[in-house]
Amino acid sequence: MKLVRYGEAGSEKPGLIDSDGNIRDLSAHVADIGGKHIDPKALRELAKLDPASLPKVAGSPRFGPCVAGTGKFICIGLNYSDHAAETGATVPPEPIIFMKATSAIIGPDDDVLIPRNSKKTDWEVELCIVIGKTAKYVSEDEALDYVAGYCVSNDVSEREFQAERQGQWTKGKSCDTFGPIGPWLVTTDEIKDPQNLKMWLTVNGKTMQDGSSSTMVYGVKHLVSYLSQFMSLLPGDIISTGTPPGVGLGMKPPVFLKDGDVVELGIEGLGTQKQTFRQEA
pLDDT string in tens for the chain (281-residue length): 999 999 999 999 999 999 999 999 999 999 999 999 999 999 999 999 999 999 999 999 999 999 999 999 999 998 998 777 777 777 889 999 999 999 999 999 999 999 999 999 999 999 999 999 999 999 999 999 999 999 999 999 999 999 888 877 899 999 999 999 999 999 999 999 999 999 999 999 999 999 999 999 999 999 999 999 999 999 999 999 999 999 999 999 999 999 999 999 999 999 999 999 999 99
Q: Quote the pLDDT of residue 37.
A: 97
- 45 and 91 together in one domain: no
- 24 and 80 together in one domain: no
Q: Quote the pLDDT of residue 90.
A: 79
Does 61 fall in a domain? Answer: no
- 79 and 177 together in one domain: yes
Judge residue 48's burial from the number of C-beta atoms within 10 Å of its C-beta, 0-12 exposed, 13-18 middle, 19 or more buried.
exposed
- Per-position DSSP letters for 110-122, written without gaps between them: S-EEEPTT-S-EE
Containing domain of residue 20, as a range? 2-53
Q: Domain containing 239 — which CATH number?
A: 3.90.850.10
- 150 and 179 together in one domain: yes
Q: Quote the pLDDT of residue 92.
A: 87
Helix (H) or strand (E) holding 221: helix 220-228
Q: Quote the pLDDT of residue 47.
A: 96
Q: Which residues make beta-bridge pairs with 87?
A: none
Q: Give me the count of residues in the chain.
A: 281
Q: Quote the pLDDT of residue 121.
A: 98
Judge residue 228's burial from the number of C-beta atoms within 10 Å of its C-beta, 0-12 exposed, 13-18 middle, 19 or more buried.
buried
- 31 and 109 together in one domain: no
Whether this prediction's pTM lies above 0.85 is answered by: yes
Q: Quote the pLDDT of residue 104.
A: 98
| Total domains present in the chain | 2
Cβ atoms < 10 Å from Cβ of 217: 17
Does 62 fall in a domain? Answer: no
- 142 and 102 together in one domain: yes
- 266 and 205 together in one domain: yes
- 160 and 205 together in one domain: yes
- 151 and 214 together in one domain: yes
Instruction: List phi, psi (to 5°) of 197.
Output: -120, 135
Taking the C-alpha atoms of residue 243 and residue 100, their distance in angstroms, rounded to an integer, is 15
